[in-house]
Structure 1
Amino acid sequence: MSKTDFSASQLIEIAKALAASGQNFIWVVKNGEKTEGEDREEWLPEGFEKKMQGNGLIIRGWAPQMLILDHEAVGGFMTHCGWNSALEGITAGVPMVTWPLSAEQFYNEKLITDVLKIGVAVGAQEWSRGERKILVKMEEIEHAITELMVGEEAEGLRNRTRALKEMARRATEVEGSSYCDLNSLLGDLRAMNLPATRTG
């Protein structure tokens, strides 16, 4: 959720949910930004990092998302349901906890959870590009994480996501559907013989 600022109180709910879920995690947070007039470090529950040592890793600043998602140890991905992140989760074969925030993300969530059935929603209801007034509670976040990782449907979620990963891989190979469609588009553009555009 790289372009989103959560309130300190929402970040605390996420931290408590991660701890309560009992699942190992990597949590990427923006480095050196302020939230509600506070230093970013003040949202962490007291002793959180020490308590989570060996179970959780907090990365401050940028992280190589695709490299992380492609690692065999990663079992789930919490996403704001932006199209790029959704595709990255699918092509890595990683099921998703969905937390849409604005724009088309709520539609993408429905695709992930209801159509493809490769994700579990946290239950976010508020569309907002700015400050959020509705807090997603720790219990809702923990429930989504637990359902995704060890719930009754967890294996089904993983199997469906792996199948989509394989379909995506085949589509981009030579003679795959994406490969052919891109070549067809390039051929159509060449056939239009458009004049070159000057820049500068």
Structure 2
Amino acid sequence: MKLFSENIEDLRTLYIANLKKALDMEQKITKALPTMIEKSTDPQLATAFRNHLTETQGHVAKVESILRTATGDASTSTCKAISALVTEAEDNIKDASDLSIRDITLIASAQQVEHHEIAVYGTLRTWAELLGDDEAADVLEGILDEEKNADELLSTISDSVNTTGVVNEVAFTGTAV
């Protein structure tokens, strides 16, 4: 057994452990989004990040509520996956000197986060259903839908941002990428 690790013996314990990681995930994203807003040069992208920050703050409150109902507490457990994705995003932002390339990398980083969140919330929703917690399952389904919508919006925005990046690359180098 690992030192300082939860002993996962049943689905409910696994569910609670992952809700705690989901809360940590949302709190970390809430802290990362203001930088992504600030570093965005595309107005549509900055607006999408601003709107998602508001949604993410709501996700924090919803996951806290589910945890309080389930355990009487809303403590967190470190989500290592989101920590790595946020660190990678921060590095990519620093490494991108061209503004259009920075917007492209912001979208790519954000979509990686969204895909992780979609996986987390799909799993948590299923576990809540299996455990008979229909109210939590409905809340988690709502969060899942918002994450899917955010990912779809980023894909739409990427169509124009990626095109701008390629046009800038051609103008700069004289050749297509």
The TM tier, using the shorter chain, reads 0.3 to 0.5
| TM score, norm. by length of structure 1 | 0.30
Larger Rg: 1
Greater share of residues in helix: 2
Q: Whose relative contact order is higher, 1 or 2, with alpha carbons under 8 Å and at least 6 apart?
A: 2
